[in-house]
Each structure stands twice: as structure tokens, then as C-alpha cells.
Structure 1
Amino acid sequence: MNKVGRIGIVGGGKMALAMVKGFLSAGLTKSESVVASVHPDDTQSLKQFERIGVETVVKNEPVVEKSDIIFISVKPQVVPVILPEIKPLSNNKLFISIAMGITLNTLEEYLASDSRVIRVMPNMPALVQSACSVYACGTKATQADGQITEALLKAIGTCEEVPENMFDAITGLSGSGPAYVFVMIEALADGGVRMGLPRDVAYRLAAQTVVGAGKMVRDTKQHPGILKDNVTSPAGSTAAALKVLEAAGLRGTIADAVQAATLRCREVSSI
């Protein structure tokens, strides 16, 4: 049984596909209750949605007409183009937007006055059902809308509600964060290869080390500085390595990266 109503996807890219797969795996909906609009030139996405039994169309209007909940998952610059097109069909519908930098106020301005809007920021690990997502509710969204959104997002990872004014910083941290971690994994593996490890072994070890360290911080709820100290023996190899990282300014560089990404998000939001 469909537990959340019919779901529509406006902009069926990789993130949207990952989210739909999560919804289906969690039993929150069935493939016949989902419809997605996909660009006609994006044959790969068309095939992937069809492979999981989801109806695909090349126009956005049918998606809104057939759905109770509509995900807006297009690029930010496309939002002002598509929302006026679907506004006449948006009455009393729930819209969940994952478009970066597009505010609740902007979404509500472009849609019908009685439409309900929720803004969401997931991240790329949604592709493996390990997303870190947040959401904020618009002025017309109900408590039930928030609960439905949270249930959907928890199907692809973790989720929590936050004030909208945190979104730019969250985008800079967890939205862009996987890219920072991928660079770290690549660097760890490069170091292992430099010291004689086969590259495939180095990548597996580096990736699992990051997964395990993250789980320790999340599950033990201990301060990461305490966990770091627990790994660091006096005059040991970890202490020697940390000295190099501190001298290179790793902490400040990562913090500066989050700041730069956040400021870019603010620029997009103001356009």
C-alpha cells in the first residue's frame, strides 16, 4: 500500500533516482505510484527509471497533475523557468525542493498560494542510502507534511529539521562535504601507495577508515578530539603524522573550504 500518496519527480537526475530507490526499498511507495519528468536527451536516466518500473515523461505538467507530493530536483537556474509553468496545477500540493540556494520564499512566490512547500538539502551519499539530509518547512506546510518528508528522507539516510537560515552553512559542510572526504580518501591512498601498498588495497583501507571513524564520532557521541587522543600514543606514529597535518594547516584549510562553499551558496540564494 502507498503510505505517502503519489510521488512526482520534476527533474529526474541521479539524486532523484537515488531518492526514489530509497523510497521503494523502504516500502513507502510503489513504482506505479511514482512519475518522473526526464530530459529527452538524458537516455541514461530514462532507462534507469524505467528499469525500476517508474513512469517517465518529458514534460513537467503531467508530473504535477498526477502527484500529491512533487520533488523539485532541477538545477537552481532552471527553477524560475519551470515553476511558472506548473503554478496553475500546484493548488493544494506538497512541493519538496532539493534545488540548491532556492529559498522557501522564492518557491512560495512562484507556486499557488495554497501549495505547501518544504526545502530539503540531502547529499550525494543518498546514492548508497547514506545521505545526511535536513529540511525546513514553508509557511503553509503542516506538521503532517514535515512528518512525511522526514519519513521519506530517512529512507535514504539520516534526517533532521533545521531553521532555513542554516541551509547555506549546511550546504557548505555536508552538501559539499563528500567531495572533501573523497579528496582525503584519495590522499590517504596515495600515501599508502607511496609506501608500497597496492592501489586497490589502499583505496579499500582508506575508504573503510573514513567510514569507521565517522561511525565512531556519530555512535559514541564523544568529542572527536577525545577519540583522536585515544588513537595517539606518546611518541608514536600517529603523533608524528598529526604534527605534519597541523604544520600544513589542515584544520584551517578544511574550515576555509566550508566557508568558501557557504559564501558561494549565499551568492546563489541572492540571485
Structure 2
Amino acid sequence: MNQKRIGLIGAGKMATALASGWIRSGLAQPENMLASDPYEAARKSFREQTNIPTTDSNREVLESSGVVLLAVKPQVVPELLEELAESATSEHLFVSIIAGARLDRFEAVLPKSRHIRVMPNTPCLVGEGASGFAAGSTATKDDLKLVEDLLSTVGIALPVAEHLLDAVTGLSGSGPAYVFEIIEALSDGGVLSGLPRATATQLAAQTLLGAAKMVLESGQHPGQLKDAVTSPGGTTISGLHQLEQGCMRGTLMNAVEAATKRSQELGKTST
């Protein structure tokens, strides 16, 4: 992997998270990568966090890279595809993390290249990402293995049918924001009950981390793990009763559904 040149078109937060994770894991080296972005502020921030050189030229990225991560806003996809069509070749593997942007759109404009669509999330930055990916019609087994390796190095990577990637976007793509809200709310509750802010936040974050690890490692249903903490007439059932009255589960389900629908809308915009 260190011998393969990786290009990034778009140097925003998600591209930074992925590139930082690849470098931290040793899977890629900064000198074998190049990122482009039209905004100097974005390029500067990206360079400072990754040590990867940057440019304002997408063509330069294509000419120097075999694997190209596409990390731009859905609204600029038509313009980007028009530009890429001038330089894309059969040597290019495009890995798109653009929300809602369908593979058939890329294959229609860039038929010589191979394409894989990915929905990662920002915890890739700390090696705990949750990504879904789908292959285009001409992507090879080696392409899929390469992308799976890239994603697995910064978390877990699960193959899904492309039509389910909008749901992946609504769940794990947007999910970290939901969890940050939950951590902040739990911390607020701790402060309300008398804990210092720093202590409350640390306890809240570690509680979510530990609970998530139990789900992943125990193989038990979350409901079983919840019941194991819930004693008859105890403190936990009193707290759960309040969460049910506040419709917490329904609200989280609605959040995933709303984000999924928005991803679908953005997909229509990109075409």
C-alpha cells in the first residue's frame, strides 16, 4: 500500500480524518499522497494535520495518483465529473465518500475508470470508524480488497448493497453527532446532580465507550445487556422510565430516518 499513490479531491474534515488514520496506522505515507481543494484555508488545515502536500489542481491529483478519494459536497458533483472526464483513465480507481452520489452517475461519465462508493464516519480519526461500501460494476476483487483494507485500518468496514448506503449515512455517517449530543446531555445531568463538569463529561464518554464495547464483544442483544443493569424498583429503571416518557428511542429512530431521506435528496441534487 505504501507504494500506491493516493490522491484526495477535497481536503475537508472527513478527508482529513481518513488520511490521518491511514498515516497513523502506517498503511500510507504522506509523501505518497496529494490532496486538492479550492480553498487555501482548507488546504492549510489539511497540511497541518496530516503533513500531506496539497494543491488547488484536481488534474494534478489525477496525474499523480492511482487511487483517488472523492470527498466533495454533493452539490458540486456535476461540475467535478465534467472536470474529471478530461483526465480519468482505466488506471484510476475512484473511491467516493460523497453523500447520496450514486455509482451509475460516475460510471456514465467516467466509463474507463473503476468506482467504489463508501460512507465512512469521523471516528476514523481515532481508528474507530464505522464504514459501509459498495462496488461499481467494473470494480475488481483487488479494488474491493484495497478499499476494505483502507477502511478496516481505521475501524470496521461492511459491504452493503448500494441502495442501503443512504441508510448507512443516516445511521453511522451522521450517528457520531447524535452520540456527542447524548454525551453532552449525560454530562449536563451529572452537573445538575452535583458533579464537576470535567468529571461528568469523562464519566459520560467512558460510559458510552464501555457500553458500546460490551455490545460488540459480548454478542448479546442490547436489550439483554440493558436488562442486566436494570434491577426491580432500582435507579436504572427509574431513569429508563424518564427516557421512555421523553420518547428517546423514537426520536433517535426519527433522526436516522431523517438523515437517510436527506442523503437521498442530496443524491438527486448530484445528478
Shorter-chain TM-score bucket reads over 0.9
Question: What one-letter code is carried by the residue in structure 2 that aligns with 1:79?
Answer: V
The structural deviation recorded for 1:34 is 0.3
The structural deviation recorded for 1:137 is 0.3
Residues 134-154 of structure 1: per-residue CA shift (max 9 Å, x gap): 110001100100000000011
Task: Report sequence identity in percent.
Answer: 47
Residues 74-108 of structure 1: per-residue CA shift (max 9 Å, x gap): 11111211121121211111000001000001111
The structural deviation recorded for 1:69 is 0.2
Q: Which is bigger in relative contact order (C-alpha 8 A, separation at least 6)?
A: 2
User: Equivalent residue of 1:9, what SS?
Assistant: strand
Any conservation in 1 of the 2:75–2:266 contact (CA below 8 Å)?
A: no
Any conservation in 1 of the 2:148–2:157 contact (CA below 8 Å)?
A: yes
User: Equivalent residue of 1:89, what SS?
Assistant: coil
Question: What one-letter code is carried by the residue in structure 2 that aligns with 1:194?
Answer: L
Question: What one-letter code is carried by the residue in structure 1 that aligns with 2:228?
Answer: N
Corresponding position: 1:2 with 2:34: no
- Residue 197 of structure 1 corresponds to 195
Any conservation in 1 of the 2:12–2:46 contact (CA below 8 Å)?
A: no
Residues 124-181 of structure 1: per-residue CA shift (max 9 Å, x gap): 2122221101110001100100000000011211111111011111111111111111
Question: What one-letter code is carried by the residue in structure 1 that aligns with 2:122?
Answer: M
* In structure 1, C-alpha distance between the alignment counterparts of 2:152 and 2:221, rounded to whole Å: 25
- Residue 160 of structure 1 corresponds to 158
The answer for unaligned runs of 5 or more in structure 2 is none
Question: What one-letter code is carried by the residue in structure 1 that aligns with 2:253?
Answer: A
The structural deviation recorded for 1:221 is 1.2
* In structure 1, C-alpha distance between the alignment counterparts of 2:40 and 2:166, rounded to whole Å: 31
Residues 54-88 of structure 1: per-residue CA shift (max 9 Å, x gap): 22111100000100000000111112111211212
Question: What one-letter code is carried by the residue in structure 2 that aligns with 1:136?
Answer: A
* In structure 1, C-alpha distance between the alignment counterparts of 2:157 and 2:50, rounded to whole Å: 25
Pick aligned residue for 1:229 from 220, 227, 234? 227
Question: What one-letter code is carried by the residue in structure 2 that aligns with 1:158?
Answer: I
Question: What one-letter code is carried by the residue in structure 2 that aligns with 1:165?
Answer: H
Corresponding position: 1:132 with 2:142: no
Any conservation in 1 of the 2:11–2:46 contact (CA below 8 Å)?
A: no
User: Equivalent residue of 2:80, what SS?
Assistant: helix
The structural deviation recorded for 1:204 is 0.6
Question: What one-letter code is carried by the residue in structure 2 that aligns with 1:76?
Answer: P
Pick aligned residue for 2:243 from 223, 242, 245? 245
Any conservation in 1 of the 2:34–2:52 contact (CA below 8 Å)?
A: yes
> What are the equivalent positions in structure 2 for 1:84-123 lying under 5 Å apart?
84-92=82-90, 93-111=92-110, 113-123=111-121
* In structure 1, C-alpha distance between the alignment counterparts of 2:150 and 2:264, rounded to whole Å: 27
User: Equivalent residue of 2:86, what SS?
Assistant: helix
Any conservation in 2 of the 1:14–1:45 contact (CA below 8 Å)?
A: no
Any conservation in 2 of the 1:2–1:28 contact (CA below 8 Å)?
A: yes
Residues 192-228 of structure 1: per-residue CA shift (max 9 Å, x gap): 1111001111111101101111111111110000000
TM-score (norm 1): 0.95
User: Equivalent residue of 1:140, what SS?
Assistant: coil
Any conservation in 2 of the 1:38–1:46 contact (CA below 8 Å)?
A: no
State the aligned residue count: 268
Are residues 6 and 98 of structure 1, via their aligned partners in 2, closer, same or farther at CA, if it must alter by over 3 Å? same
C-alpha RMSD over aligned residues: 1.4
Corresponding position: 1:181 with 2:174: no
- Residue 268 of structure 2 corresponds to 270
The structural deviation recorded for 1:47 is 4.9
* In structure 2, C-alpha distance between the alignment counterparts of 1:115 and 1:57, rounded to whole Å: 23
Question: What one-letter code is carried by the residue in structure 2 that aligns with 1:108?
Answer: E
User: Equivalent residue of 2:16, what SS?
Assistant: helix
* In structure 1, C-alpha distance between the alignment counterparts of 2:13 and 2:97, rounded to whole Å: 12
- Residue 23 of structure 2 corresponds to 24
The structural deviation recorded for 1:270 is 2.2
